[in-house]
Structure 1
Amino acid sequence: MSHATDPTMTAAAQDNATIRSPMRDFWQAFIQNPLALVSGGFILLLVLVAAFAPWLAPYNPMDPDWMALSAPPSASHWMGTDDLGRDVMSRIIYGSRISLYIGLFSVTLGMVVGIVLGLLAGFYGRWIDMLIMRSADVLFAFPGMLLAIAVVAILGPGLNNVIIAVAVFSVPVFARIVRASALTLKQAAYVEAVRSAGAPDRILLIRHILPATLPNVIVYFTMRIGTSILTAASLSFIGLGPEPDVPEWGNILAMSRSMMMAGQWHVSVFPGLAIFFTVLSFNLLGDALRDTLDPKLKNA
């Protein structure tokens, strides 16, 4: 039994086949970037390690092994032990939780505050723009690490204070990125059309201007996580981070200073490599996202 082919249905099927989803285009371009796959795969692995740390860590990170003080890597302790006999591998695995928590939460906090300030400055201009941008310039006058040290010195050491310190020096950059986009977008034809229709400012900001600023924000957000993890580790290394016994990567490095002079390299090398590869992966992922989301780079 033969079936006649409906030309209307065929044309409709062809039209549906040619419809391209922006999300599909994004993923196709993303997976064609080898650095994106490698860096994204490492970050996904790190997230899984942090999530399943209690099951992956061979030992309790706080329990000492008095029979293996400062022991080098072996079959029982793959990355050795520190001067208190604590398993270095277990402390690094648990430390991934704290380092990722600091990086994600601090950058998210700085991003939210920066987006709000940037939208207000770019959309309303005048004295609001001047007040916000001059405050950002004051923060830009300080090196990021020095600003974080100053904030922690005022608030005191501790995990939450480290998050606040890292968030503070992330705010002005997000504010500047969003402000630059808002200055251009508020004069766009479609925004003017919505404003002429009587839409309130919050609708213009949230539904029409904010979404257009997100690609640049996402790229910088990804890169900033690596910087924040490195900054938090640096604060811990100089004694301004969480309590010394907390298994955080910077704390592990700080505890290894005396052991490095004795030639016990393993306590500093392994957490240092964890920080290095994590920061590198977030930077490479940010570059890949920038290449994928920026139309000018895609068409180049």
Structure 2
Amino acid sequence: MRDPVTPLPEIGHSEVTASTEDIRSPWRDFLQSFFRHPVAIVSTLFILLLILVAVLAPWIAPYDPQVPDWMALGAGPSAEHWFGTDDLGRDVLSRIIFGARISLYVGLLSVTLGMVLGVLLGLLAGYYGKWLDMLIMRGSDVLFAFPGVMLAIAVVAILGPGLNNVIIAVAVFSVPVFARIVRASTLSIKQSAYIEAVRCVGAPDRVVLLRHILPGTLSNVIVYFTMRIGTSILTAASLSFIGLGPEPDVPEWGNILAMSRNMMMAGKWNVSVFPGLAIFLTVLAFNLLGDALRDTLDPKLQK
């Protein structure tokens, strides 16, 4: 005689809800781990505030950055001009606010260009190897032989001064590091069993590289991308300070520092301190954000 079929236990709504709540998304886990770092919160808020200031610059700047106040030439901080004015009577605070636009634009665009080219070269070098790997890596070694600022100066000296050429120069010295980071990750990932399985089913190299290898390299790329933005802003300001950046009247942080050299000798500290402080805090915030991302995304550093 057949045994009666045992009915399945009924699952209550509360049990389904509890099991659903136990499912954790990677994005939620990342945010919880990331915001455990107080430094990450402070740096993220500062960068978001800086982006907001750059976007709203025409509406929040108290004065036009190019219009001088002839009654306050080289004035110190006051109720009318919080950060004072330069030797031409232009409001320093307004120029710093508008300079945030240019500095973020240069930093983000130059690092993005360097990242795209570097990631592509790193994928090709790590995946195909042989002569292509040797050619790309030896080219990277040549670029590594020059300090970053010196390489940027050489590129701008060849192309000529200007904002677009500064972006190209900063992008060039970002390429080799991205290429090395992605190459190292690609060499490790392409030996994995699932990559061999994808090859066995006949997937083309383009699919293997873009859909299966590239995602495994993104954590390291994101960390370095974030930290490189601060370095790029500092390099662009250095090029502007020595006269290889945009036109002197452009309200860029390096230009503001360059224009303040004569005033520093006269004891006008405000024209140099405030833009220098803006550069310092911005670079520090991006570096601290990169450190927090590294601690969050690197499983070896997880506690």
Query: Does TM, scored on the shorter chain, surpass 0.5?
Result: yes
1:14 positional shift = 2.7
Superposition pairs of residues 94-109 of structure 1, within 5 angstroms: 94-109=98-113
Supply the distance in 2 between the matched residues of 1:20 and 1:208 (Cα, whole angstroms).
Answer: 23
Supply the distance in 2 between the matched residues of 1:11 and 1:125 (Cα, whole angstroms).
Answer: 53
Structure 1 unaligned spans of 5+: none
Aligned-pair identity in percent equals 77
Using the size of structure 2 for normalisation, the TM-score is 0.96
Match for 1:283 among 279, 287, 301?
287
Q: Deviations over 1:245-274 (max 9, x none)?
A: 000000000000000000000000000000
The answer to whether structure 1 residue 266 and structure 2 residue 258 are counterparts is: no
Equivalent in the alignment of 2:5: none
- How many aligned residue pairs are there? 295
The answer to whether structure 1 residue 144 and structure 2 residue 148 are counterparts is: yes
Supply the distance in 1 between the matched residues of 2:296 and 2:60 (Cα, whole angstroms).
Answer: 34
Match for 1:254 among 254, 258, 264?
258
SS in 2 for 1:7: coil
Match for 2:239 among 223, 235, 250?
235
Supply the distance in 2 between the matched residues of 1:250 and 1:39 (Cα, whole angstroms).
Answer: 22
Equivalent in the alignment of 1:192: 196
The answer to whether structure 1 residue 15 and structure 2 residue 16 are counterparts is: no
Q: Deviations over 1:22-51 (max 9, x none)?
A: 000000011111000000000000000000
Supply the distance in 1 between the matched residues of 2:35 and 2:66 (Cα, whole angstroms).
Answer: 40
The answer to whether structure 1 residue 208 and structure 2 residue 193 are counterparts is: no
1:8 positional shift = 5.3
Structure 2 unaligned spans of 5+: 1-8
The answer to whether structure 1 residue 180 and structure 2 residue 194 are counterparts is: no
**RMSD of the TM alignment (CA)?**
1.0
Supply the distance in 2 between the matched residues of 1:267 and 1:144 (Cα, whole angstroms).
Answer: 27
Using the size of structure 1 for normalisation, the TM-score is 0.97
The answer to whether structure 1 residue 123 and structure 2 residue 127 are counterparts is: yes
Supply the distance in 2 between the matched residues of 1:61 and 1:10 (Cα, whole angstroms).
Answer: 62
1:11 positional shift = 3.9
Q: Deviations over 1:65-102 (max 9, x none)?
A: 00000000000000000000000000000000000000
Supply the distance in 1 between the matched residues of 2:41 and 2:14 (Cα, whole angstroms).
Answer: 37
Match for 1:224 among 225, 228, 242?
228
Match for 1:86 among 74, 77, 90?
90
Instruction: Kindly provide the amino acid, as one letter, of the partner of residue 226 in structure 2.
Output: T
Supply the distance in 1 between the matched residues of 2:202 and 2:167 (Cα, whole angstroms).
Answer: 41
Supply the distance in 2 between the matched residues of 1:129 and 1:103 (Cα, whole angstroms).
Answer: 29
Bigger Rg, structure 1 or 2: 2
Supply the distance in 2 between the matched residues of 1:298 and 1:67 (Cα, whole angstroms).
Answer: 59
Supply the distance in 2 between the matched residues of 1:39 and 1:10 (Cα, whole angstroms).
Answer: 40
